[in-house]
Amino acid sequence: MTAGIGLIPKLTAWIRIRRPLRQPRQAGNLFRKILAVRQHGAMSVDQPVPRELKVAGTAALVTLEETALRLGLSQRLPAAWVVGHAAPEGRHYLWPAFWHRLSHRPDIPDHLRCELLIQLRTGERVRSLLDVLPMDFDPLEKVTSRDEGQQVVHLLNTELSVSEWDSQRAEGASGAGSPSGC
């Protein structure tokens, strides 16, 4: 529900810019559509989003990434990237953001779009998104420490994304041979 509320102002602003209202009747229809999204949330899934921070080892994370790839889910990393960069004994955290439904693919069940915090071999952490089936999310270990949970939430809001981290790393590698100040 909270994801839907943040979306409403952006959605209405985008619609006004991209497609100005030409008739007063259109304004009423648009208002009814926005109100329906606010009342029912962005996804009309029957169950609430789990409010549990989960932790997975690297092997479990690779399995989740491979499952997302096999199902053709859109939010995932290549398993080879995870194997190459994730700490082998690392703790990786998943926080469900919202339910995701692929209405154009009814064969794919509703799944959770999770924020993901990955511990890297270098000791750094990066954030990403991962689509996870509920049956794969439920058995993961639940984080019960309040301090650990608060630290993870802080890191999810401050750490670099995978693409930002990759870009910084590429810039560092290309600029390593050039003298300073050039």
| Digit-coded pLDDT (tens) for 2-38 | 444 444 444 444 344 433 444 444 444 444 433 333 3
Residue 146 has pLDDT above 60, yes or no: yes
Q: What is the pLDDT of residue 19?
A: 39
Q: What does the block give as tokens for 173?
A: 């590698």
| The pLDDT of residue 31 | 43
Residue 130 has pLDDT above 90, yes or no: yes
CA atoms within 13 A of residue 76's CA, in its CB half-sphere: 22
The secondary structure of residue 134, as a DSSP letter, is H
Residue whose C-alpha is closest to residue 94's, from 64, 65, 120, 55: 55
Whole-number pLDDT of residue 23: 46
The verdict on pTM exceeding 0.85 is no
Beta-carbon contacts of residue 8 (< 8 Å; ≥ 6 apart): 34, 37, 38
pLDDT at 30: 42
Would you place residue 108 in the very low, low, confident or very high pLDDT band (cuts 50, 70, 90)? confident
Q: Which of 73-87, 88-102, 165-179 has the lowest mean pLDDT?
A: 165-179
Provide the pLDDT confidence category of residue 135 given band limits of 50, 70 and 90.
very high
Sign, CA dihedral 134-137-143-148, equals: negative
Q: Tell me the pLDDT tens digit for each residue of 112-123.
A: 999 999 999 999
Q: What is the mean pLDDT of the chain?
A: 79
Token pair in block for residue 129: 């998104």
47-77: pLDDT as tens digits:
899 999 999 999 999 999 999 999 988 889 9
With a CB cutoff of 8 Å and minimum separation 6, the contacts of 159 are 117, 124, 125, 126, 127
pLDDT at 29: 45
Question: What is residue 175's predicted lDDT score, i.e. its pLDDT?
Answer: 65
Cα distances from 143 to residues 97, 133, 138, in angstroms, run 16, 19, 12
